[in-house]
Copies of this chain bind each other. A is one copy, B any other.
Amino acid sequence: MNLSKPIARPSLHEELVDRVRELIIEGELEPGTKIPEKELCENFGVSRTPMREALKVLANEGLAVLEPNRGAWVSTVTMDELEETFPVLAALERLGGELACIHGTETEIAFVRERHDDMVRHYKMRDRQPYFKANQDIHDGILRAAGNPVLSQHHRVLASRAKRARFLANISDARWSQAVAEHEEIIAALEARDGQRLGQTLADHLLNKFTALKERVDG
C-alpha cells in the first residue's frame, strides 16, 4: 500500500497564515491599520495562540509589523518600498523567463498562450478585472514553467507586497496598450524558447510598469 501521503490536515496556524495573508493582499485589512486580533480570532473561531503564530509569520514576510506591547499592524506600502521591490521582482522574473524556456513543458507553455489570448480579449473589451487576473495567471504560469519552487516562493512573497498597492491597477490607456504589446513579445519569446529575450522582456516589462506608475503618482 503506497498511499502517497497521509491525510493532509494543515494545522490551524498554517490555515490562518493563508487566510489572513489573503485578507491583507486583497486589501480587506488596509495598510497602516491595526490588525484586530481578537475580532479575527472570533471570526475564524480559534484561540489567540494560533492566530498570534500566524501574525509572526506574516510579519516575517513583511505584510505585518509588530509593535512591542501595541499589537500587529498591516504594513504600509510606500513608494520607497516599491522602489526597492520592483528591481528584485524584475530580477526574479528575468530568471523565471530564462528557466521557463529551458524547462517548460509544451503543456505549460500552451497554458500561458491560452491565458495570453484571454488577456488580449479582455483588453479589447476593456474589462479590467479579468484582464488583471489573466495577466497574473500569465506571470504565474511562466514561473511555474520555470520549475523552480525556491524561485516561485520568493517571487510570491515579493509579488504579494507589490500587489497591495491598490493604485497599481490605475493604468493609463497609453501604458495599457504598451503593456499588451510587451506581452505579445513575451509570448513570442516564450514560444520560441528564447530565454535571453524572454528574460529581458519580462524584466523590462515590470520596470516599465513601475516607471509608468511613478509618472502617474509624481506628475
CB distance from A105 to the nearest CB of B (A): 17
* A148 B91 Cβ-Cβ under 8 A: no
A190 interface residue (CB < 8 Å to B): no
- Taking A57-B57, A87-B95, A88-B150 as given, write out 17 further A-B residue pairs in contact, using a Cβ cutoff of 8 Å, ordered by the A residue number: A11-B66, A11-B68, A13-B56, A17-B60, A52-B53, A53-B56, A57-B60, A60-B61, A84-B148, A84-B151, A87-B99, A87-B151, A88-B151, A91-B91, A91-B92, A150-B158, A154-B158
The answer on a CB contact under 8 Å between B91 and A95 is: yes
Q: Within the oligomer, what is the number of copies of this chain?
A: 2
Chain A interface, >50% SS class: helix
Closest to A151 in B: B88
A85 touches B150 (CB 8 A): yes
| Bound Cα distance A49, B158 (Å) | 29
| A149 contacts the other chain (CB 8 A) | yes
A87 touching B154, Cβ below 8 Å: no
* Chain B: minimal CB distance from A206 (Å): 12
Q: Contact: B11 with A87, CB < 8 Å?
A: no
Which one, B68, B94, B154, contacts A9 given CB within 8 A? B68
Measured CA separation A151–B61 after assembly (Å): 13
What separation, in Å, do the CA atoms of A13 and B150 have in the docked complex?
A: 25
Q: How far is the CA of A158 from the CA of B94 in the complex (A)?
A: 18
* Cβ–Cβ < 8 Å partners of A87 in chain B: 95, 99, 148, 151
In the complex, residue of chain B having the shortest beta-carbon distance to the beta carbon of A84: B150
Question: Given the complex of chains A and B, what is the CA–CA distance between A158 and B68 in angstroms?
Answer: 28
Question: Could you say which residues of chain B place their CB within 8 Å of the CB of A99?
Answer: 87
In the bound complex, residues from chain B placing their C-beta under 8 Å from that of A153 are: 62
Query: Which residues from B are CB-within-8-Å of A88?
Result: 92, 95, 148, 150-151, 154
- A81 beta carbon closer than 8 Å to chain B: yes
User: Which residue in chain B gives the minimum CB-CB distance to A11?
Assistant: B68
Which B residues are CB-close (under 8 A) to A49? 49
> Which residues in chain A, 61-79, are within 8 Å of chain B measured between CB atoms?
61-62, 66, 68
Distance A211 CA – B92 CA, assembled complex (angstroms): 21
